[in-house]
Amino acid sequence: MKHSAGNWNNSSTEPLKVLHIVSGMDAGGLETLIMNLYHNMDRSKIRFDYLCFRDQQEFYDEEFLALGGQKHVILPEAPQNLADRIRIHRDYARQYYDLIRENHYEVVHIHFGIPDSFRWIRLAHKAGVRKVILHVHRAQAIQKEPRLFRLRNQLAFYMADESIACSRLAADYFFGKRLGARTTILKNGIDVEKYAYSEENRKAVRAEFKIPEDAFVIGHVGGLKYPKNQAFLITLLNRIKEDIPDARLLLVGDGPDREKLLKQAEEIGVLDRLTITGSRNDVNRILSAMDVFLFPSIHEGLGIAPIEAQTNGLPVAVSDTVPRDIQCTKAIGFLSLSDMTAWISFLQTKRKQVYDRQAALKAVKDSDFNSSRMASVMDKIYRS
């Protein structure tokens, strides 16, 4: 059952207040989407705040607060017994309810993956929220989901006022094809001009990381964790080091697998060809230092990094588990993770080709991946 309470009062002088519910604001694709969205909104008319469940400095906190947003935290507790669990759930509900009432949120935007999303939806309606949006960002789990996974998601779908997915694949995976067909597809938009190729940035970034100007740089952007599958790239680097002796691997990101990846590179003798930058807020600059971009995800809801790479004019190869929705130029290949030879062949071919790295800009600018278009769609959803 939907709970729409009519359109937002456009005559109000106060901005429409939207509360995003997320696990945190790290340098991931979901968090970058929220920031791109907020940068392209009229912030005199719409204000974003966010609620998370850990008390730490987040990657995007400073930027988010500078845009006028506010951060809220509800800390989790570990229940010791059933009575404790009931008490904790009641305390969570009270804090959440009070937060909404005190801040007069009209819209709650839940980024799916938050445990018990349907509880947050129900409590938001109880607190008087006009619209609750459910937004899914991935298409497949690492492990097989419990049997009740689809039923729970469908319950959340019916309770929410609007459901959004980053791709048709993600919508069908979470809700099933019937409900997936009723889900709004919102592609992850980026600030297109920001990702234009720059020869100046290429030279500066290579100098910063002591990468030779004539090196063939294989690039990747993503959290250093199992689903992003950077171990595959290190194995690939080892396989091509004889055929492409000037090859270097540039990993942009950080995460729990960092030490494991460094150890892997050392054990197989490619540590001197590997650079890990850590979390960066200048990915747009770093892309210009690359010659090719690889994205071997084990699963992906959409994948914003390959879109940024295409905008920069890079030839891109992604695993065939990544939705084909991300294609916005012709210089992209979808390859099987079980066929290492295909990835090697891709690198060998692209190394010999010359690309006009500025040409891709217009294709992305005219596509649904343009963040200004994304913001326009979300503006209408928030206000309706």
Provide, for the chain, the percentages of residues in helix, strand and coil under a 3-state DSSP scheme, each rounded to the nearest 5. 40, 15, 40
- Rounded mean pLDDT of 194-204? 95
Q: What is the pLDDT of residue 4?
A: 45
Structure confidence by residue, pLDDT tens digits, 322-366: 888 888 888 899 999 999 999 999 999 998 887 788 888 888 888
pLDDT bin (cut points 50, 70, 90) of residue 213 is very high
Q: Which two tokens stand for residue 24?
A: 């945190």
Please name the residue ranges forming H helices in the chain: 29-39, 61-66, 82-103, 117-126, 149-159, 168-175, 177-180, 199-208, 230-240, 258-267, 283-287, 304-311, 340-352, 360-365, 371-383
Assess contact for 296 and 344: CB atoms under 8 A: no
Least confident of 200-204, 220-224, 247-251, 301-305: 301-305
Domain ranges of the chain: 16-189+368-383, 192-365
Global pTM? 0.75
- Look at the alpha carbons of 97, 102, 104, 108 in this order and tell me if their dihedral is positive or negative: negative
Q: Per-residue pLDDT for 112 more than 80? A: no
Q: Please give the full DSSP string across 236-297, using - where no structure is assigned.
A: HHHHHTTTSTTEEEEEEB--TTHHHHHHHHHHTT-GGGEEE-BS-S-HHHHHTT-SEEEE--
- Residue 9 has a pLDDT of 56
* Average pLDDT over the chain, rounded to an integer: 89
pLDDT in the model for residue 352:
83
Q: Which residue has the tokens 């600018």?
A: 365
Identify the residue whose tokens are 């590997």.
Answer: 274
- Rounded mean pLDDT, 64-72: 96
Bigger pLDDT: 6 or 106?
106
CA dist 215 and 347 (Å) reads 13
C-beta atoms surrounding 294 within 10 Å? 27
**Which residues have CB under 8 Å from 353's CB, separation 6+?**
315
The token pair at 161 is: 């006022």
CA atoms within 13 A on the CB side of 230: 28
Q: State how far Cα 229 lies from the chain centre.
A: 16
- The mean per-residue pLDDT over the stretch 93-103 comes to 95
Structure-token pair, residue 230: 């950077």
Q: Are 189 and 32 in contact (CB under 8 A)?
A: no
Low-confidence winner among 152-166, 311-325, 354-368 (lowest mean pLDDT): 354-368
Q: Per CATH, which fold does 192-365 belong to?
A: Rossmann fold (3.40.50)
Which amino acid is it at 241? K
Q: Could you check whether 16-189+368-383 and 192-365 share the same CATH topology?
A: yes
What fold is seen in the domain 16-189+368-383?
A: Rossmann fold (3.40.50)
Q: Name the 3-class secondary structure at 71.
A: strand
Q: How confident is the model over 285-311, as a mean pLDDT?
A: 92
Of the listed ranges 133-137, 267-271, 364-368, 376-380, the least confidently predicted one is 364-368
- pLDDT for 1 equals 37
Confidence label for 102 from pLDDT (cuts 50, 70 and 90): very high
